[in-house]
Chains A and B, each alone.
Chain A
Amino acid sequence: MVLFIFRRLGAMVLTMLVVSVMLFLLLELTPGNVATKVLGPYSSEEQRNLWLEANGYFEPLWYRYVTWLGSFVTGDFGESIRFKVPVADVLWPRLWNTAILGFWTFALMIPLSLVLGVLAGMREGSKLDRSISVTSIVTTSIPEFASAVFLTAIFVFWLGWLPGTSTMTSGFDWRQLVLPVMVLVLYDFGYVARMTRASMAEVMTAPYIRTAVLKGLPYRRVIMRHALRNALIAPFTVITLQINWLLSGVIVVEFFFAYKGFGALLLEASLNQDIFLIEACAMVAVFVATATQTIADLGYTYLNPRIRFS
């Protein structure tokens, strides 16, 4: 088990290193481009050369990469071209805002999808099962930007209950959080519900469930004690991996509702060629994604005794 943990962590670090090399080559291969982006298109040749000299861009490529990686790991991400402040000063508050959004999305999505999935999987082919399946196909077919449009049309334009933007300019306001969270939950819950349903349906056909029913245990007890324990292992992995999807989803939702989060920041950085900010955002995104992947793998191994003890 310990060996397995170390192997997974090693693989994670290796992936991060390869990603950092890719990003570095993508954005900083030619020093001339970097200088143009930092100093603007109207800077003179001389200014650019001075800047390149001062920032060590005339060193060999590998040396530049190692220095870059060194300062990156110690939390020095450079300065944002667009915001004219250190990248870290913009990045962390934005990441915190996205964490709030993500927390509420998961807090609603997990119970909803697990309950629906278990109910549907308990009696495969029942009316409830069929309606839950159809609902989840429909909701996963509506992309986030489309459900944002639909929900805004209903709750903002038609009913006038909620604000249409979530800029939070005058302090935190939960009403501005409702629509973004709803959009993310709507798109994400269907997949988790379907996976839970499949896992539950499979467990329900297992011989030990038939035994439990035949020896006269109450149905509730069969479900709660015997079925759920095994049926919820697979959804654990699915939910953890859903964080990776959420990182894509928040970009769309934050852009649509003008929410000051990490996804909108990444998009803004990319559109403005703010290279140091892009590097930091992309590395954070990949770190979160690979970390959750590792947690999903380790958790699955831990939760499944058949693997844990082999």
Chain B
Amino acid sequence: MTDLAKTMRPAGTAGVAFMRGLRSFALLRESGAGMVGVGLISFWVIIAILTPLIAPFDPNATLQPFAKPGTAYAQGGTFWLGTDQLGRDILSRIMWGSRTVLFYAPVATASAYLVGILMGLAAGYYRGRADTVLSFVANVILSFPVLVLYILVITTIGASGINIVIAITFASAPGIMRIVRGLVLDLRNRDYVAAAQTRGESSWYIMLVEILPNARGPLIVDACLRLGYVIITIGVLGFLGLGLPPPDPDWGGMINEARPLALAFPYMTVFPCIAISSLILGFNMLADGLREISLRD
């Protein structure tokens, strides 16, 4: 493998990164949980991509209220998962909803990571006063029960896609910062950092080019787990009526709208719940598989 990496090097760092990715994937294939995770995530990604082509109905069209799963529609087609109280096809809404969650969850997680990594690098590398201030801010935010924080932020700034991203960044960045800070405190004493300092590289070059790539292992596992949490958060906010504004389909919102009817028409809430749980399970199992292989080498 090391020989292969050496021969790849002239192709540039992109080539090396690609080979590394391929190698981790080959390792991941040995982890059963990891492969189930990859399978579940791929399933939803494919659904999300193909939705415009394969969704049987318009997700917002009111067709036939309270149709049970498997009912045939008079004008052709079948409601495989039934329709809701407004007569919208549940299968189509779940399919379109997968696009919503697979867009907002990675965007919100990436945004939280951007802020968290910058805070963590600064706190761990500069230490001293910067560290004290950043760590204190992080502690204060983390002292809130997380859903209380989300409710306070969302009811203050309003419920919308961009505000959900802001709220998730605000609440998750401190946790990411703590992890990054811990890793940086360990890595900043390595020889290659000292070498870069002697070369006269700038602090941010050292943090971003020398330290950050070497901290990626634990961060990738954490990112997978966090994606799962972010999906839960988006679901919970939708469920509490603080999510994306209707009528566009969103899994949490679907459960919220059908909640008063859940005792009489369980299928309206059960199917979106299966969808969201399976996607979260996918990310958690992938994280588990990644942790397994990272412990191995």
Contacts and interface: CB of A to CB of B under 8 A. Distances in A.
A150 B274 CA distance: 9
Interface in B140-179: 140, 143-148, 151-152, 155-156
A152 B262 contact: yes
B263 A150 contact: no
A39 B235 CA distance: 34
A94 B144 CA distance: 19
B263 A26 contact: no
Contacts of B220: none
A145 B255 contact: yes
A143 B236 contact: yes
A141 B228 CA distance: 8
B27 interface: no
A281 B288 CA distance: 36
Contacts of B140: 15, 18-19, 22
A290 B140 CA distance: 9
B151 A286 contact: no
Contact of B276 (A137, A143, A273, A290): A143
B284 A140 contact: yes
Contact of B147 (A134, A152, A251, A271): A251
A290 B141 CA distance: 11
A172 to B, nearest CB: 22
Contact of A26 (B156, B235, B259): B156
B276 A146 contact: yes
A127 B288 CA distance: 17
B38 to A, nearest CB: 15
B147 A252 contact: yes
B286 to A, nearest CB: 11
Interface string A263-300: 00011001101000010011001101110010000000
A256 B139 CA distance: 30
Contacts of A149: 255, 262, 266, 269-270, 273
B285 to A, nearest CB: 6
A278 B152 contact: yes
A289 B144 contact: yes
A137 B266 CA distance: 25
Contacts of B276: 143, 146
A137 B285 contact: yes
Contacts of B148: 247-248, 251, 266, 281-282, 285-286
Interface residues of B, number: 38
B239 interface: yes
Given A149-B270, A153-B270, A142 B263 contact: no
B155 A271 contact: yes
Interface string B25-41: 00000000100000000
Contacts of B156: 26
A266 B277 contact: no
Contacts of A289: 143-145
A236 B276 CA distance: 31
A248 B284 contact: no
Nearest to A255: B240
B185 interface: no
A115 interface: no
A15 B240 contact: no
A143 B288 CA distance: 18
B69 interface: no
Tell me which of A26, A137, A146, A267 has the highest count of chain B C-beta atoms within 10 A of its own C-beta. A146
A19 B144 contact: yes
Interface string A149-180: 11011001100000010000000000000000
A213 interface: no
Given A137-B33, A141-B228, A256-B259, A146 B143 contact: no
B243 to A, nearest CB: 12
Given A252-B236, A256-B259, A278-B152, 5 more contacts: A137-B33, A152-B263, A157-B266, A164-B263, A252-B240
18 contacts: A15-B143, A22-B140, A23-B152, A137-B33, A143-B232, A143-B236, A145-B255, A146-B235, A146-B276, A146-B277, A149-B255, A149-B273, A150-B270, A251-B148, A251-B151, A270-B151, A271-B241, A282-B148
The 5 A-B pairs with the shortest beta carbon distances in the complex, nearest first, are A248-B147, A247-B145, A146-B273, A141-B281, A153-B266
Interface of A: 11, 15, 18-19, 22-23, 26, 134, 137-138, 140-146, 149-150, 152-153, 156-157, 164, 244-245, 247-249, 251-252, 255-256, 266-267, 270-271, 273, 278, 281-282, 285-286, 288-290, 293
